[in-house]
Structure 1
Amino acid sequence: MLTFIGLGLYDKEDISEKGLRLIRNADHVFLEGYTSRLMGATREELEAYYHKPVRLLRRVDVEQHPEELLDCALRENTVFLCAGDPMVSTTHADLRIRAADRGIPTAIIHGASIVSAVCGLSGLQNYRFGKSCSVPFPQAHWSPTSPMEVISENRNLRLHTLVYLDIQDDHYMTVGEGIDLLEEMARKKQVKIPLYVGIARAGSDAPVVRAGPAGALRCADFGPPLHVLVVPGELHDMEKTYLSRFAGLC
């Protein structure tokens, strides 16, 4: 049996009671740390809370070589943990398909996700979001423009865009770094982005939410990770009021 369990947004206590019970009763506990991470808890703290050893998986362990995980799930109760909600990431959906192909029963225990949290923190209405995108750290001889294509398409439809910021090992992209990369893409595409919303540490006791143009937000101190961006489309009056009241929009 393979159960996908979402851990929520920030720390060890964000998990549901059902998820915690299943972890404590599991034979094997795996945690992936490449799509997102709980910044309010270390692996050692999670192990103490679960009363179980936790094996950390890298991207290659899940996407290319999941044999150990699937072999465990074929024989005994195995849980696969991730921050947020398990099926927001397509790599987790692929893993569930692989498990089904091997005849392994699967289940999902959902958790709080940044997809819904950004709506509550920013006041941007969930039904007005279009396709999301990710901004990766730049690499030599590779400069993607696809995020700006997604943003432009959404804005043409008057929709908001959730922009995930890259994680590489212990390097977490900040709001300022994300805006710099998006503004460079916008310059090449001759696109103007009038407004950004930056959010830091969603799910914590002290999240930071700020809205404004690139120049204002790229210099703002959002504090420690994780950070995420939203590029709004056309704003409803209530969305403007909410951003003004809770995110400093002038």
Structure 2
Amino acid sequence: MFYLIGLGLGDATDITVKGLEIVKRAKRVYLEAYTSILTEEYYGRELILADRDMVETQADELLMDAENEDIVFLVVGDPFGATTHTDLVLRAVDKDIKYKVVHNASIMNAVGCCGLQLYHFGETVSIVFWTESWRPDSFYDKIKVNREKGMHTLCLLDIKVKEQTIENMMKGKKIFEPPRYMSVNQAAEQLVEIVQNKRQSGETPSFTEETVIGADTQQIVAATLQEMTSVDLGGPLHSLVVPGHMHPLEMDMLRLFANSQHVYTSYEITSKHRDHLNM
């Protein structure tokens, strides 16, 4: 049997009882090691680190012996938070290997801790690191569509692990850059620049530097987009939330995490404006 087991969002102890029992009896246990920060070794056995290259190009090795033995693939969050893991399931089925999934919490549902109702979220977007020559802004368009529908947007922030420079790739050198994890500050800075570019080109931006934004980490902060460029949220991993139309209860919850009095004022203006629109 091939098992995909979610580890949750906190630390190694967030694994479910069911998941831990399977891990203890399995022949091999792989730990996904590229979409998040590694958890500590808590499971009382050897863990085989599976980087992106192994999962994407050596899937047959992961599935080896799964016809007759229990093989486990551990995933931070929930197993189906990434399409790569769906591909593993399809490969297993193609080889007539039975599989089971043990679900756990992921950012897709844990984001509700900031007070915004899950069924009011639209399409989730990814914000990528910009470079000097590559500065995509398509994620802004998706946020805009969500806001036009009154929906909130969960923004997943870029992770760079085992990345190579173009020079090292061309030379075939297995030299990797240090890991990088985008912070809420960096994401907010990029969004501010996009907003300013839209304004300069004559387009009315979907939101402004004064739009209230929520940062969802172990520390939850509600602040304007401009304020979010400098808020201290500690180490990675970070996620960013751009609210859409807010129910009064959602606004009351977000007030608990307000970074400044200005955020309170922004909520009041937004609330009154929307009440007027809905009359």
Structure 2 SS opposite 1:36? coil
List 4+ stretches of structure 1 deviating above 6 A. Answer: none
1:4 is the counterpart of 2:18: no
The one of 172, 178, 199 equivalent to 2:181 is 172
Look up the match of 1:196. 213
TM-score of the aligned structures, taking structure 2 as reference length: 0.80
Look up the match of 2:13. 13
1:112 is the counterpart of 2:121: no
**In structure 2, what is the Cα distance between the partners aligned to 1:164 and 1:19?**
26
**In structure 2, what is the Cα distance between the partners aligned to 1:127 and 1:87?**
19
Q: Pairwise CA RMSD of aligned residues?
A: 1.6
Look up the match of 2:116. 124
1:237 is the counterpart of 2:248: yes
Deviation of 1:140 after TM superposition, in Å, equals 4.9
Deviations 1:11-41 (Å, cap 9, x if unpaired)?
0111110000001111011111222235xx3
**In structure 1, what is the Cα distance between the partners aligned to 2:138 and 2:91?**
28
**In structure 2, what is the Cα distance between the partners aligned to 1:12 and 1:247?**
31
Look up the match of 2:150. 158
The one of 174, 195, 198 equivalent to 1:186 is 195
Q: AA paired with 2:28?
A: H
Look up the match of 1:133. 125
1:35-184 to 2 correspondences below 5 Å: 35-38=35-38, 41-42=39-40, 46=41, 49-120=42-113, 122-169=114-161, 170-184=179-193
**Larger of the two Rg values belongs to structure:** 2
**In structure 2, what is the Cα distance between the partners aligned to 1:51 and 1:151?**
43
Q: AA paired with 2:100?
A: A
Q: AA paired with 2:212?
A: L
Deviation of 1:127 after TM superposition, in Å, equals 0.4
**In structure 2, what is the Cα distance between the partners aligned to 1:136 and 1:237?**
32
TM-score of the aligned structures, taking structure 1 as reference length: 0.89
Deviation of 1:247 after TM superposition, in Å, equals 4.1
Using CA pairs below 8 Å that are at least 6 residues apart, which structure has the higher relative contact order?
A: 1
Identity %: 40
Indicate if the aligned counterparts of 2:192 and 2:226 stay in contact, CA closer than 8 A.
no
**In structure 2, what is the Cα distance between the partners aligned to 1:127 and 1:116?**
10
Q: Which runs of 5+ in 2 are unaligned?
A: 162-178, 200-204, 265-279
Q: Which runs of 5+ in 1 are unaligned?
A: 201-206
Aligned residues: 236
